[in-house]
Amino acid sequence: MADRTRTKSRPTPTKVKSGPAPARGRQKRAPAAGKPDRAAAGRPAGTPKSERTRQLLIRAAICSLADFGFAETTMSRIATLAGVSAGHRQYHFPDPLDLFRAVVDTIHERWRRATTEALEARGPVRARVEALFELSFANIGTPDHMAMLELKMAMRGRPDLKRAIGPSIRAYEAEADEFCLKVFADTGLGSADLLAIRAIHSAVLRGLAIEQIDAPREIPRERIRDLFTAMALSRAGRRK
């Protein structure tokens, strides 16, 4: 009877799909001839599985920032949301600041791609201004937008965070300024006017996003778009 009890209490080995293997009780097997010892070298960066895990962590960090805010975004929560072990999180992003930098770069790349696709086709000035606003309105309240707002606000009290992501943010803003000057070069507006209009556009969108947190309400998208378009075109008309 005692023997049967011991047999039942002994756990049946299960196949581990992810996470580090237990350190104790594991019998190390020699690697096959011609193959690297992954237990010693770790998973090489850039493999499909490794990149997938990295992207899961970045996506989870964005969702956590958007849903819980920067103060409540811990590395433990990110790993849980991503469905990966703490060890895998540590492997891909040993320093949390590296993860936040990857978040900023990922969001900027998505915005860069979307803006280029929407505006590089050119067309009439009015169509380009309206396309820019439609793209911007669609972004308000998205996880990407809210996550970026959280990180920017958090930089005020976190000098280390500012040092980590500040250069990426400034580089993207400079690139966005250059893109604006290029796309709207035929409006007759000078650089100072175009950049001022872009600054107003960005401030309006940030304000609307913050307002939606406190008191969500329907945004008069068409009215705001038409007023802004009229302002931009009127300014351009006076300069021609």
Using an 8 Å Cβ cutoff, are 92 and 54 in contact?
A: yes
- pLDDT classification of 237: cutoffs 50, 70, 90: low
d(CA 17, CA 19): 7
Using an 8 Å Cβ cutoff, are 124 and 231 in contact?
A: no
Q: What is the mean pLDDT of residues 72-82?
A: 96
- pLDDT attached to residue 224: 79
Burial 111-148 (b: 16+ CB within 10 A, else e): beeebeebbeeeeebeebbbbbbeebbebbbeebbbbb
- pLDDT classification of 3: cutoffs 50, 70, 90: very low
Query: At which residue do the structure tokens 């998205």 appear?
Result: 142
Domains of the chain: 45-94 (1.10.10.60), 96-239 (1.10.357.10)
- What would the pLDDT profile of 98-128 be if each residue is shown by its tens digit? 999 999 999 999 998 888 887 776 678 788 8
Q: Is 26 helix (H, G, I), strand (E, B) or coil?
A: coil
